[in-house]
């Protein structure tokens, strides 16, 4: 343990990768590996080879779903001519490969290809052009190694594991080149509802949109109905034949479609467990986990579903007869409606259209929420043969969405999560071998971001901010230790003394700065986040003092910085950045 802590201390400035690797080892502690697994009939397997075979049976079934659509695509005879990949494209594809990743069956790591010099680059360029012309990939590239990773639940149940695919590094290079070529088309094709793996968008966009809908519905006493959709093994169940058909219909060049199709044709997998490999098995459905193309292809598949959903369903009216029907981040979808019947109709369309592409809703994980000041008796939503449980709050993309439209519960949840991280790192925070600088780095880089995840969307109260500051001071007291007074006795450090020793913006200042930075982005946006923030529901506010809103908190903070016309000022990025920095010095309410 001492050696590990010395390694952490010595690599804080020299090698951040080793620094965080060793920190994570401390945080995770000793991880027991299962020495036995249960078969589907309940009997125990103890040999690694047998366990690998059991996982092989499970994944083989999962990745070979029966297809309802076996259409053979007839590509148009006149097609857009695409240039072969240039040497610069190949070099860019190499740069996109991530270092430190486990190799596939070829046992070649990305660093080898990157450091191969001009000679290897020339050969890779030649290989990529040959594949481009022939539309065939080497047989070895078709094989992936699936490593089962435990999710949660009983560690001896195969169903509680998900697969991570290890692909050949040379194939990943081709995948990166194809992704670069297909991205411009995706940007034009994918609807604004989708933020997953879209340039310039993040989970915060979708969290903000959903929270604003809930907040404004509550403020204006307008009922809103939400369904948080979860698909069963979304990536693994995509119907490939239907996907090629969708790509063609959406106008993606036939050459790219054929090349991507060749990457999945006759694909095979092996299971790796405990140093043993299972026999190969064919994979006919789904997208390869770990493939750079998979998120983009999933978005295309989902687009074919959502276009029908959005065109036929009502959603909620936000502006000039424009409706918001769905918000998505990859396969995490929220359906919205103004009445329960509208939500049922929207869900019915999603079920039918999703089935065509291979997507099936997970009934137990899909949840239903009503945002209303009225007392609704219904406890669940029934659509066809499905019954979806009603909940008062839901964890969407890691953020707490609740029917009361407040941030109190989320602040509590974030602090619980941050505390969990802190206690996992406690051996390091208590160690006398680790410097204060290293401990402060651990807090700022690992603990504080957990406490402040999606905090730019919070409408905090004085009580919320006080909880955050108490949490921060607890950790700082552990970092800086007790104070020795003139009598030689140890005493708890005062808040002022901690502030002087830390000499950095406190957690409330970081929160306010992030929130003001996000507000500037929202007010400059001409897209969905800007429209939802400016949206005023066609309803009347009830009597009484309104609850504090997100925009109120922003404007109160800006007022302390001497800014009145906030939305106009936000249009000037350079000026706004100065206020974002200045906000770090703001204290709590």
Whether 77 shows a pLDDT value over 70: the answer reads: no
Instruction: Please report which confidence band the pLDDT of residue 76 belongs to, taking 50, 70 and 90 as the band edges.
Output: very low
Instruction: Please report which confidence band the pLDDT of residue 541 belongs to, taking 50, 70 and 90 as the band edges.
Output: confident
Q: Rounded to whole angstroms, how far apart are CA atoms 333 and 347?
A: 11
Whether 397 shows a pLDDT value over 90: the answer reads: yes
For 299-334, the pLDDT digits (tens) are 999 999 999 999 999 999 988 788 999 999 999 999
The mean-pLDDT minimum among 28-32, 45-49, 99-103, 212-216 falls in 28-32
| Residue showing tokens 């906030």 | 566
What percentage of the chain exceeds 90 in pLDDT?
Answer: 70
DSSP-derived 3-state class of residue 328: strand
* Residue 356 token pair: 């065509």
Q: Rounded to whole angstroms, how far apart are CA atoms 349 and 103?
A: 41
Q: Rounded to whole angstroms, how far apart are CA atoms 335 and 346?
A: 7
Instruction: Please report which confidence band the pLDDT of residue 588 belongs to, taking 50, 70 and 90 as the band edges.
Output: low
Q: Say what the pLDDT of residue 78 is.
A: 43
Q: Rounded to whole angstroms, how far apart are CA atoms 63 and 80?
A: 33
Q: Rounded to whole angstroms, how far apart are CA atoms 230 and 223?
A: 23
How far is Cα of residue 571 from the mean position of the Cα atoms in its chain? 29
Instruction: Please report which confidence band the pLDDT of residue 188 belongs to, taking 50, 70 and 90 as the band edges.
Output: very high
DSSP-derived 3-state class of residue 589: coil
Q: Rounded to whole angstroms, how far apart are CA atoms 454 and 446?
A: 15
Q: Say what the pLDDT of residue 67 is.
A: 66
Whether 69 shows a pLDDT value over 80: the answer reads: no
Going by DSSP bridges, is the β-strand pair 367-371/386-390 parallel, antiparallel, or unpaired? parallel
For 105-150, the pLDDT digits (tens) are 889 999 999 999 999 999 999 999 999 999 999 999 999 999 998 8
Prediction pTM value: 0.92
Higher local confidence (pLDDT), 28 or 214: 214
Which domains are delineated in the chain?
A: 47-191+234-297 (no CATH), 203-233+299-402 (3.30.70), 408-585 (no CATH)
Q: Say what the pLDDT of residue 24 is.
A: 86
Beta strands in 36-109 (DSSP E): 37-38, 44-45
DSSP-derived 3-state class of residue 327: strand
Task: State the chain's mean pLDDT as an integer.
Answer: 91
Instruction: Please report which confidence band the pLDDT of residue 395 belongs to, taking 50, 70 and 90 as the band edges.
Output: very high
Q: Say what the pLDDT of residue 117 is.
A: 93
State the DSSP string of 355-418.
HHHT--B-TTT-EEEEE-SS-----EEEETTEEEEE-SEEEETTEEEETT--SHHHHHHHHHHH
Q: Say what the pLDDT of residue 586 is.
A: 80
Residues with Cβ < 8 Å from 194, sequence gap 6 or more? 299, 302, 303, 306, 328, 329, 330
The mean-pLDDT minimum among 25-29, 447-451, 503-507, 556-560 falls in 25-29
Planar angle of CA 132, 136, 141, nearest 5 degrees:
110
Using CB atoms within 10 A of its CB, is residue 341 exposed (0-12), middle (13-18) or buried (19+)?
exposed
Q: Say what the pLDDT of residue 213 is.
A: 96
* Residue 554 token pair: 């922003």
For 252-268, the pLDDT digits (tens) are 999 999 999 999 988 99
Higher local confidence (pLDDT), 543 or 413: 413
Mean pLDDT of 164-188: 95
Q: Could you give the angle at which helices 294-312 and 169-189 cross, rounded to 10 degrees?
A: 20
Q: Are 261 and 142 in contact (CB under 8 A)?
A: no
Q: CA nearest 431: which of 9, 79, 37?
A: 9
Whether 456 shows a pLDDT value over 90: the answer reads: yes
């Amino acid at each position: 343990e001492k050696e590990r802590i010395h390694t952490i201390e010595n690599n804080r400035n020299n090698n951040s990768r080793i620094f965080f690797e060793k920190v994570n080892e401390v945080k995770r502690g000793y991880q027991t590996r299962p020495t036995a697994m249960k078969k589907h009939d309940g009997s125990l397997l103890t040999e690694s080879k047998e366990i690998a075979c059991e996982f092989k049976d499970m994944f083989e079934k999962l990745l070979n779903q029966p297809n309802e659509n076996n259409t053979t695509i007839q590509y148009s005879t006149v097609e857009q001519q695409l240039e072969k990949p240039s040497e610069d494209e190949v070099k860019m594809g190499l740069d996109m490969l991530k270092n430190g990743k486990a190799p596939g069956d070829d046992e070649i790591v990305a660093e080898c290809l990157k450091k191969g010099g001009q000679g290897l680059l020339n050969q890779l360029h030649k290989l990529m052009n040959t594949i481009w012309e022939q539309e065939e990939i080497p047989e070895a590239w078709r094989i992936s190694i699936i490593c089962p990773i435990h999710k949660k639940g009983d560690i001896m149940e195969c169903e509680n594991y998900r697969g991570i695919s290890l692909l050949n590094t040379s194939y990943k290079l081709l995948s990166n080149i194809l992704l670069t070529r297909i991205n411009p088309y995706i940007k034009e094709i994918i609807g604004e509802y989708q933020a997953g793996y879209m340039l310039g968008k993040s989970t915060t966009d979708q969290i903000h949109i959903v929270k604003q809908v809930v907040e404004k519905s509550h403020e204006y006493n307008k009922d809103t109905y939400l369904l948080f959709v979860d698909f069963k093994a979304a990536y693994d169940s995509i119907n490939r034949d239907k996907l090629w058909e969708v790509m063609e219909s959406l106008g993606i060049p036939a050459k790219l479609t054929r090349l991507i199709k060749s990457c999945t044709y006759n694909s095979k997998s092996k299971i790796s467990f405990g140093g043993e490999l299972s026999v190969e098995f064919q994979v006919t459905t789904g997208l390869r986990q770990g493939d750079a193309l998979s998120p983009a292809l999933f978005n295309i598949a989902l687009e074919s579903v959502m276009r029908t959903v959005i065109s036929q369903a009502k959603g909620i009216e936000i502006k000039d007869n424009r409706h918001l029907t769905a918000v998505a981040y990859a396969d995490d979808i929220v359906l919205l409606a103004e009445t329960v019947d509208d939500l049922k109709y929207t869900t019915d369309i999603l079920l039918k259209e999703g089935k065509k592409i291979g997507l099936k809703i997970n009934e137990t994980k899909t949840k239903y929420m009503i945002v209303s000041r009225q007392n609704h008796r219904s406890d669940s939503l029934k659509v066809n043969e499905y019954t979806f449980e009603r909940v008062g709050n839901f964890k969407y993309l890691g953020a707490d969405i609740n029917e009361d439209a407040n941030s109190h519960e989320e602040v509590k949840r974030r602090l619980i999560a941050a505390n969990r991280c802190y206690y996992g790192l406690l051996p390091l925070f208590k160690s006398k071998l680790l410097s204060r600088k290293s401990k402060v780095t651990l807090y700022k880089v690992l603990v504080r971001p957990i406490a402040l995840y999606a905090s730019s969307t919070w409408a905090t109260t004085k009580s919320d901010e006080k909880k955050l500051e108490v949490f921060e001071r607890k950790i700082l007291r552990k970092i800086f230790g007790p104070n020795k007074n003139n009598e030689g006795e140890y005493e708890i450090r005062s808040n002022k003394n901690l502030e002087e020793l830390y000499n950095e913006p406190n957690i409330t200042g970081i929160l306010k700065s992030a929130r003001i930075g996000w507000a500037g982005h929202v007010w400059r946006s001409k897209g969905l986040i800007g429209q939802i923030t400016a949206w005023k529901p066609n309803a009347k506010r009830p009597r009484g003092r309104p609850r504090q809103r997100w925009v109120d908190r922003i404007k109160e903070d800006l007022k302390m910085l001497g800014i009145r016309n906030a939305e106009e000022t936000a249009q000037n990025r350079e000026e706004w950045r100065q206020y974002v920095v200045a906000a770090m010095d703001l204290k709590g309410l």
